[in-house]
A = this chain, B = another copy of it.
Amino acid sequence: MDFAPSPRAADLTARVRQFLDERIEPVEGELVADIEARRARGEDSWAVDPRIEELRAAARAEGLWNLFLPAGHEGPYAAKFGTDGGTGLTNLDYAPVAEQMGRSFMAPLIFNCNAPDTGNMEVLLKYGSQEQKDTWLEPLLDGRIRSTFLMTEPAVASSDATNMAATAAVDGDEVVLNGRKWWSSGAGHPDCKVGIYMAVTDPNADRHHRHSMVVVPMDHPGVKVERMLSTLGQFDEPLGHGEVSLTDVRLPVDHIIGGPGRAFEIAQGRLGPGRVHHCMRLIGLSEKALELALERSTTRVAFGKPLANLGGNREKLAKARIAINQARLHVLHAAWKLDTFGTAGALSEVAEIKAAVPSMACEVIDLAIQLHGGGGTGPDFPLAAAYAGARSLRLADGPDEVHLGVIGRIMLAPYAARAAQRAGQSSGGVAR
């Protein structure tokens, strides 16, 4: 057992952090304020900002680009990876790098490591046809285009994927898409050219072979971004979250990734590391919020004392320190489990961090807000947006409750089996 990061992780972490501190942090407040000012004036708050493009170019030039791609992807696209020599990172090595990116709203985009592009790129890399790779993966890896993921639906509880109502019906050599999706992140970006759409192809197949994933050009007739959604009041430009309708969208059948009925298999492969990335970033976001809270606590004075010396503030800050440290170790351990035992061997660990980290982040950020007084809820600090981001992740990859259910099922299974054995019954009862 050893808690020291590998030299490669330490180096990349330090370089990403330096880029953040020197290039992103000094301008981020202004970038965000400009977006809000444009929105307030009714101007296009989604327009590409050349300053962000410059930062992206700089990050790429420094090799801090596409760091998300995991070890093992050493194929023809390796040269696209920022990691020297083109070898992907283990989840464990990527974790502290992603943590640093999580300190900033803009950073993941700047390093081409933002959701949902990362997950979409992984899907195309692992399951895409050569043509799909040429058409969509290459420009995504180059950051020339962006993408969205069309999964969640407004009309049904999407935490249960079998509820899905959208369709991808095969009709001869075409696939016909009809459905309404929302919380499609990335759909607001002007460069969002492609979506990966999940829908029912064969309602009579068994529940793990009913659905397909389809590559959808966003400018295809019948595809419409109906509106951009706010999350706790935040629009999260320049990526945002869209509501997208698909009406009789006809595409060649080869747009189905890996062929019809493989969506569940692909989703499983996509979700493992993707879910860990969110948690990694939330550690960084929580750490940033705690730093702001510490800064505020030592500089604001009330009743003759810095806030840190009033009431229970110091204890609350100490508890936040504990919560972040425990959560970070938890995420690192889950990453190590994923690397060492694969997705199937890390099911509980991945569910655990998903259930635990977003609410931890909410609590830490909420404390930081409280210590900032009214200002903490307003536009002058990144805390309201941080809270909205963390809060939405208690739902975005499945609600906390679903993850807790997975943990419970895994943990109870052997006990239920033994109980059933003793009772001479099937174990179905408890393990659901």
Which residues in A have some Cβ–Cβ distance to B below 8 Å?
Answer: 1-6, 9, 39-43, 92, 152, 154, 156-160, 163, 182-183, 229-234, 294-295, 297-303, 305-319, 321-322, 325-327, 329-330, 332-333, 336-337, 340, 348-349, 352, 355-356, 369-370, 373-380, 384-385, 387-388, 391-392, 394-396, 399-401, 403-405, 407-408, 411-412, 415-416, 418-419, 422, 429-430, 432
Contact = CB atoms under 8 A, between A and B. Distances in A.
A308 B430 contact: yes
Contacts of A430: 297-298, 306, 308-309
10 contacts: A183-B374, A230-B233, A309-B432, A311-B315, A315-B401, A317-B408, A321-B348, A322-B330, A325-B333, A376-B395
A304 to B, nearest CB: 8
A429 B305 contact: yes
B306 A419 contact: yes
B412 A317 contact: yes
Copy number in this complex? 4
A101 to B, nearest CB: 18
B298 A412 contact: yes
Contacts of A43: 42
Contacts of A298: 412, 415-416, 418-419, 430
Contacts of A356: 322, 326
A377 B232 contact: yes
B332 A1 contact: yes
Nearest to A417: B298
A318 to B, nearest CB: 4
Given A154-B380, A309-B432, A312-B315, 15 more contacts: A1-B6, A1-B9, A1-B92, A152-B374, A157-B302, A158-B373, A183-B374, A232-B387, A233-B234, A298-B415, A308-B430, A318-B403, A322-B330, A322-B356, A325-B330
